[in-house]
Amino acid sequence: MDGPPGGAAAPVIDTADLNRAFASAAGAVEFDARTRAYGGHREIASSAAPLVVVPVRIGTRAIALLATGGRRLEPGTRDAIAGIVAIALERSQFLEERRGAELSQQRAELSSALLASLSHDLRTPLTAIRTAISNLDSAALPEDQRRGQAHVAAIELERLTRLFDEILDMARIDAGTVRPRRSWTTPAEVVEAAINHSATALAGRDVRVDAGDEEAVEIDPRLASSALSHLLENAARYASDGPIEVRAWTDAEGLRVEVRDRGPGLQPHELERLFEPFYRGELFRSQMPGTGMGLAITRGLVAADGGRVWAENLQPRGAAFTIALPARIRAIAAAE
């Protein structure tokens, strides 16, 4: 319906009148040669001037009513406008249905990938734990081997715990229940917490840290350090040689954290997909276990605090992952 001029109140139409007009439009479609228009045009009362309604049809089926007021339009013109509206509505409905079908297919693919990945990643540590416990039950096992089997069981149990933590994190991110709790912290504190959290994965690795502690940023330190820990574990897993470099600093926008490795780098066509749930790079998906959830969790945690994360290749080799979190900044001296 034409909008009210000059910001005037929209006209009020009696619901019963609209229902009668729509019911009359549901009948057979007839063409009036005299007016050069299809049937179903009706004049109805409103709180302002009388309005003319015309059916909006997809094919022969009326799906809505178009009301026009103000300057009188020819019936054929009203039919033409109603036809354009019908095309727009049909296209919108088609796009929505196609989007729904695509989402259903994506969910099915993700579910299949998750089940396949989890079945593999659960079976491996469970088998190792079962074997270690069975060996520990042997009275003839020497003490040093007994300690070794206990260590294997502990490592695999920690691996299982991390896997279930990842599943819970993904569920919280998908449900939109991750809420930031911001407080003042320094870049150095965020990096330290992330390294401590990833101690097992980083054991034996050369981790070089350059993180500032002269300024504090107002972020959720738990989300930031957890997101960073996944980047560190990713670098430890896929870049088997060379040091892992971690830089954290403040700029005009907030906190920046970068993780660099000396690994083989990233396939250019994969850069946009690295942070998708369950996606794993072509070079490694068949060489080592993994769910492909780590980077997706990083993106979800960073996004929950209003930030972003991206990846890029380095020259001559290696990759860099960067987290940017918008935040207020203040000097430590001012905080004290």
List the structure tokens of 193.
């917490």
User: Could you tell me the CA-to-CA distances from 113 to 108, 117, 276, 280, 293 in Å, in that order?
Assistant: 9, 6, 12, 11, 11
Partners of residue 211 on adjacent β-strands: 248
Q: Are residues 73 and 36 in contact, defined by beta-carbon separation less than 8 angstroms?
A: no
Tokens found for residue 256: 């920046």
> Residue 209's pLDDT is what?
97
**Region for residue 112 given its phi and psi (left: phi exceeds 0; alpha: psi -120 to 50; beta: otherwise):** alpha
According to the model, what pLDDT value does residue 259 have?
97
Helix (H) or strand (E) holding 31: strand 31-32
Q: Is 289's pLDDT higher than 70?
A: no
Residue 47 pLDDT > 90: no
pLDDT band at 105 (very low <50, low <70, confident <90, very high): confident
Residue 125: pLDDT above 90? no
Reply yes or no on whether the pLDDT at 70 is more than 80.
no
Residue 336 Cα to chain centre, angstroms: 38
Tokens linked to 320: 């860099």
Span 96-109, average pLDDT: 73
Lowest mean pLDDT among 143-147, 185-189, 285-289: 285-289
Please tell me which residue, 6 or 149, carries the higher pLDDT value: 149
Mean of all residue pLDDT scores within the chain: 80
Average pLDDT of the segment spanning 204-220 = 94
Alpha carbons 95 and 219: distance in angstroms, whole number: 39
Q: What was the pLDDT predicted at 63?
A: 76
Considering only residues 259 and 263, tell me which one the structure prediction assigns the higher pLDDT. Answer: 259
Report residue 232's pLDDT band, with 50, 70 and 90 as the boundaries. Answer: very high
- Is the separation of the CB atoms in 47 and 86 below 8 Å? no
Q: Give the pLDDT of residue 187.
A: 96
Percent of the chain at pLDDT > 70 equals 78
The pLDDT of residue 16? 77
Residue 335: pLDDT band (50, 70, 90) is very low
Distances (CA, A) of 233 to 38, 172, 199, 205, 227: 68, 21, 9, 11, 10
Domains defined for the chain, CATH in brackets: 5-97 (no CATH), 110-175 (1.10.287.130), 183-335 (3.30.565.10)
- Alpha helix segments (H runs only) across the chain: 15-25, 75-136, 143-175, 187-197, 199-202, 221-238, 294-304, 332-335
Over range 207-221, report the average pLDDT: 95
pLDDT at 224 over 90: yes
| Nearest one of 123, 122, 148 to 136, comparing CA atoms | 148
Q: How far apart are CA 33 and CA 187, in angstroms?
A: 77
Q: Is the preceding peptide bond at 326 cis, omega within 30 degrees of 0?
A: no
Reported as a pLDDT band with limits 50, 70 and 90, residue 311 is very high
- Asked if the model's pLDDT at residue 182 lies above 90, the reply is yes
